[in-house]
Copies of this chain bind each other. A is one copy, B any other.
Amino acid sequence: MTAAPGSEGLAEAYGEIRRVTERLAAPLSAEDCVVQSMPDASPVKWHLAHTTWFFETFVVSAARPAARPFHPQFRVLFNSYYNAVGPQHPRPERGMLSRPALSEVRAYREHVDCRIAELFAEGAVDESLAARVELGLHHEQQHQELILTDLKHMLWSNPLRPAYRDGPQRAEGEAGRLRWRRHAGGAASIGHAGGSFSFDNERPRHRVMLEPFEIASRPVTTGEFLEFIEDGGYERAELWLSDGWDAARAQRWRAPLYWRREDGAWRIFTLSGARDLRRDEPVAHVSFYEADAFARWSQARLPSEAEWEVVAAKEPVAGNLLESGLLHPAPSPAPSSAPPAQLFGDVWEWTRSAYAAYPGFRAAAGALGEYNAKFMCNQLVLRGGSCVTPRSHLRATYRNFFPPQARWQFSGLRLARDP
């Protein structure tokens, strides 16, 4: 979905993207779909309903204000955080909802899909409504990623450590040697220039001034991160931001999330269950604090989001994404002279940039203005996309963001440094 589709293409995209969501949930039992393992993560059933609520609220009700909603209480139950729409069921209590049953949520999805199909069939999807459908599809894709990351956390919270599905063949390959790619700096432009879909937080395109910098040819691997651990990385305060040190102490971090030392060997939990650590994979499930400490230990730093974007802007959006079906980061040898590898896919890459408005930023009017703008504080930007991000969801200007202590996403890092 790189170019804004016409109404027909949009209807088709709607069907495809909605089906992807259902395929992701297909292997799961109703029991799997109801459990919430922490306030930050939502049950799969909630994701299935909330993405539907988004279309019902912002498309169907906008086009047909008199139409009766599927269920009068869903407006509150499945509202995530839109104060302009009204009150919300409390986030930490999303796991209380044994009802509606999963089957009822599936009926809800079908119901709204039918209403949307009717709007398309009736030619009622004008430009404004098309924009909302397109936004809803990107929203659905974000929740496809969240379904897998939230589910991974839920499965891991169960001492039986169940798998989401059987593991795929082992991804072949070794990580290439880390090399530095130099950039001359100077004035540059970042942000989305229009002409196709982007979120409001990617706009407007604007000039920035960069100092010369170097960026790593590939993300940091688990093997490299293991060296940091073995060098006492988690015990050396001088490597850490003050808040990061406090978080690491309070939560007793000793390794990335989902790592576990058993009988002297490191094991790692994946969506295919627990297995031995593989040293050539990009490291994932580290917080910004751990990424930052690792970079300092490496006598390097994290890139800014502008540095990342000027490098990535020249590269195609391709890599180990949701469509690869691996659902886990994989090694990708980077030839010595090529541009940086794995910019897209495998792991989201923490940048040093606080998530903030671009100069001249204007949030959308009304409830949809709450989509991105109100979170512009206490979060850091991640770039690139992960092994569970749909390909059509990404572009070089895409800004993901999470609080610095978050670890349950496929979040890794790529080093940068001053020449």
Partner of A37, one of B96, B159, B244, B418: B96
Residues in B with CB closer than 8 Å to A360 are: 211, 418
Give the shortest distance, in Å, between A400 (CB) and chain B (any CB).
16
Answer whether residue A354 sits at the interface, using C-beta atoms and an 8 A cutoff: yes
Answer whether residue A101 sits at the interface, using C-beta atoms and an 8 A cutoff: yes
A:288-338 near B, CB below 8 Å: 288-289, 292, 301, 304
Q: Is A158 touching B83 in the complex (CB atoms < 8 A)?
A: no
Residues in B with CB closer than 8 Å to A288 are: 377
Answer whether residue A404 sits at the interface, using C-beta atoms and an 8 A cutoff: yes
Partner of A242, one of B89, B159, B352, B375: B375
Q: For A292, give the chain B residue with the smallest CB separation.
A: B377
Q: Is B243 touching A378 in the complex (CB atoms < 8 A)?
A: yes
Answer whether residue A157 sits at the interface, using C-beta atoms and an 8 A cutoff: yes
A:189-216 near B, CB below 8 Å: 206-211
- Given known pairs A240-B374, A241-B375, the reply for A31 and B159 (CB within 8 Å) is no
Provide the bound-state CA to CA distance between A143 and B354, in Å. 28
Residues in B with CB closer than 8 Å to A209 are: 187, 206-209
Q: For A38, give the chain B residue with the smallest CB separation.
A: B96
Copy number of this protein in the oligomer? 4
Partner of A352, one of B31, B83, B98, B357: B357
Q: For A76, give the chain B residue with the smallest CB separation.
A: B159
- Given known pairs A98-B31, A98-B35, A375-B241, the reply for A211 and B359 (CB within 8 Å) is yes
- Given known pairs A89-B159, A374-B242, the reply for A154 and B96 (CB within 8 Å) is yes
Q: For A102, give the chain B residue with the smallest CB separation.
A: B31
- Mark contacts of A214-245 with chain B using CB atoms, 8 A cut-off: 1 yes-contact digit, 0 otherwise: 00000000000000000000000110111111
Give the shortest distance, in Å, between A268 (CB) and chain B (any CB).
20
- Mark contacts of A45-65 with chain B using CB atoms, 8 A cut-off: 1 yes-contact digit, 0 otherwise: 000000000000000000000
Residues in B with CB closer than 8 Å to A375 are: 241-243
Answer whether residue A69 sits at the interface, using C-beta atoms and an 8 A cutoff: no
- Mark contacts of A143-159 with chain B using CB atoms, 8 A cut-off: 1 yes-contact digit, 0 otherwise: 00000000000100111
Answer whether residue A29 sits at the interface, using C-beta atoms and an 8 A cutoff: yes
Residues of A whose CB lies within 8 Å of any CB of B are 29-35, 37, 73, 76-77, 81, 83-84, 89, 93, 95-102, 154, 157-160, 162, 187, 206-211, 237-238, 240-245, 288-289, 292, 301, 304, 352-354, 356-357, 359-360, 369-370, 374-378, 404, 418
A-B contact pairs, 12 of them (CB 8 A): A32-B99, A35-B35, A83-B238, A84-B238, A93-B157, A96-B157, A206-B211, A241-B376, A242-B374, A244-B377, A354-B354, A360-B418
Besides A35-B98, A83-B237, A187-B209, 19 new A-B residue pairs in contact (Cβ under 8 A), listed by A number: A29-B98, A31-B33, A31-B102, A34-B35, A73-B160, A81-B242, A84-B238, A95-B95, A96-B154, A96-B157, A100-B160, A206-B209, A206-B211, A209-B209, A241-B375, A243-B377, A301-B357, A378-B378, A378-B404
